[in-house]
Amino acid sequence: MKQEQIDPEMEKLGELIRQVKKPALSDERKNLLKSQIIKNAPKPLFVYLKDIVASVVLSPERKAMLKERILTAVEGHSQKSFFWSNFFMFQKKFVSSMLVFAIGLGFFSFTSADVGVVHADTFTTLSDFNGDVVVERDGKNIELERGMRIFEKDTVRTGENGFASIAFFDDSVSRLSSETEVSVDQLVRPDDSYSKSYVEISLESGEMWSRVVNLVEDNSAFVVRADDAKTVAKKAAFNVLVEPDVVEVEVFNHEVKFESPMVRETVVSGRKVESTDSKVVVRDLDEGDRDVAWIKENLDNDKVYLTEVEERLLAAKMESVGVDVNDDFDYKASLTEEAIVFLTLGDVKKKKKELDLAEKAFVSAEVRLNDPNVTEDERVEAEAVIVSFKSTVQEFDDFVNEVRTTDVDYADELENYVDDKISNQKKNLSLALPDDASYFAKSVIGEIEIDSVDDEEELIEKRTEQGLSKIAEAEDMVDQGGDIEMAKDVLEEGKGEVEIAAELVENIGAVSEKEVIREFEQEVEKNLDRADSVQDKVDVIEGVVNPVVIPTVKRQSPEVKVDEAYGVAVEGNRPLDPLLY
């Protein structure tokens, strides 16, 4: 059959085949067929190998021999692909360098960690207001809310029924009566210091009460300007009234320095200044001065405020060292802190780290003493830690003296470092009174200051300062209704410190004509006058039936008159000659 005849026949056959229906198996037949095929299928090779390997057990000797042969083969084989074992095998120098760099970087990051006390920032705020109150900033009145920040150049005004309270970053507070205007001139924290501060405000009109606490640095001050006069305080409660023809300053706690073009005068508690264009009069407060509702209200509010400040300071201390009053205390350095000190390079840096840790333990121990549930053993342990801080400071001072023999400037820097720590703790403890749990820590700080003086003049200064501090503590105890007998004892201790300073002044004055000696003599005399003023308060308290009400101290002093030549107030035969200032 020829090809041309075959092709049509094949096409017909194909057409017939396509018309045949495909065989169809039921699901049951499909599953049966599948199971038969799988059952008869041979096992893969890896299954047989797995079974054989599982049945083979090598002796320890053969395992060791096999391992040795494999390692020998690997070492002799030229590996072309990259993997980590080759990297460490053939790049040892590079790897070593990288490891040294990484360890060094971690070391410096580790040793630079802060192990000391961390102080939180504080701000000046509008703590409270009522009625018609305006805060002006950049010429615009801003929306008010309690706790809002107050900045330099802000102006605060109260209307006819207005009241405002400003809490300053240095823990001082000022309260504005109605129809009062105050400008905030300066809010300065030099070098971002925790203990140094300078606040200056201007009372343009009206009446303002101020309570100043916690200023311990020589250059720290709270200043209120009024017309051409200014009142400077480091610790005081005083009221300033500005009227068209007179500026009046009344002092109810501690002291202020009043300065005007005509006079500079230290005004102690229980005294007042009245300044006009022509004269300045300094006299005692009378009964009516203290009976004014505004004054009585602020004296009461101050008691509450001081308690709040103490609580806030305690909370800040706990936060600064990361402890709580109710924690289980361990004053020893942590493993991390010990490692930081151990890895710190250089004697100077190591000494600073050790001082940081000692300060942290000091604050932790002081916090512990404030726990009302502290046991006697825990109290003794905490006090021992506080005393050990004194020893650490002494060791640091000795180290500074060694450094001074070779590098005076660096020694001064280190001395400032430890002085800042003492000032910080002194500020933290400035409100502690003899009947407070923290007073033990405060007394140790005082001992550290005396031990660290460099010469007799500085010793006189510190003795005088500590005597004045005790006199102020006695006054605070009286004003706050504390233990009168304890207040009397503290007052005597303060007078004793002042008398020691007086003896030192007398001894130095016999061989020195320095102007500073005369200044010390004047300061000693003023401090004894302050002690007399506090004694007057004590006498009044002991003579009243209800000690809660503290009446005004009224001295029987001669009537104040004015010296015609200078227009300055005099008492008796003591002229306040402006040439002496």
Summarize pLDDT for 428-481 with one digit per residue, the tens.
898 899 989 899 999 999 999 988 888 888 888 888 888 888 888 888 888 888
Same domain? For 413 and 543 the reply is: yes
User: Which of 251-255, 322-326, 353-357 is predicted least confidently?
Assistant: 322-326
Question: pTM, whole model, 2 decimals?
Answer: 0.69
Per the structure, the complete domain to which residue 334 belongs is given by: 306-563
Same domain? For 293 and 313 the reply is: no
Same domain? For 297 and 353 the reply is: no
- Final residue belonging to a domain, choices 301, 328, 362: 301
What per-residue confidence (pLDDT) applies to 251?
95
The distance between the two most distant Cα atoms of the chain, rounded to a whole number of Å, is 163
Same domain? For 222 and 174 the reply is: yes
Same domain? For 462 and 534 the reply is: yes
- Final residue belonging to a domain, choices 280, 301, 322: 301
Same domain? For 187 and 135 the reply is: yes
User: Which of 218-222, 258-262, 545-549 is predicted least confidently?
Assistant: 545-549
Nearest partner of 369 among 428, 452, 427, judged by Cα: 428
Same domain? For 354 and 252 the reply is: no
Same domain? For 281 and 421 the reply is: no
* Backbone angle region of 281, left / alpha / beta, with phi > 0 → left and psi within -120 to 50 → alpha: beta
Packing angle between helix 293-321 and helix 347-369, nearest 10 degrees? 130
For residue 580, being part of any structural domain is answered with no
For residue 400, being part of any structural domain is answered with yes
Helices (H), 347-455: 347-369, 376-404, 408-428, 439-451
For residues 114 and 353, is the Cβ–Cβ distance under 8 A? Answer: no
For residue 157, being part of any structural domain is answered with yes
For residue 467, being part of any structural domain is answered with yes
CA-CA distances (angstroms) from residue 354 to 19, 95, 392?
A: 102, 35, 8
**512 compared with 313, residue with greater pLDDT:** 313
For residue 39, being part of any structural domain is answered with no
Q: Is the pLDDT of residue 553 over 90?
A: no
Total number of domains constituting the chain: 2
pLDDT level of residue 513 (50, 70, 90 thresholds): low
Same domain? For 378 and 520 the reply is: yes
What per-residue confidence (pLDDT) applies to 52?
62
pLDDT level of residue 561 (50, 70, 90 thresholds): very low
| Residues above pLDDT 70, as percent of the chain | 67
Same domain? For 377 and 485 the reply is: yes
Same domain? For 182 and 158 the reply is: yes
Same domain? For 290 and 150 the reply is: yes
Q: Is the pLDDT of residue 568 over 60?
A: no
For residue 94, being part of any structural domain is answered with no
pLDDT digits (tens, 9 = 90+) for 299-326: 999 999 998 988 888 887 777 667 665 6
For residue 433, being part of any structural domain is answered with yes
Average pLDDT for residues 100-108, to the nearest whole number? 49
- Final residue belonging to a domain, choices 274, 301, 328: 301
For residue 189, being part of any structural domain is answered with yes
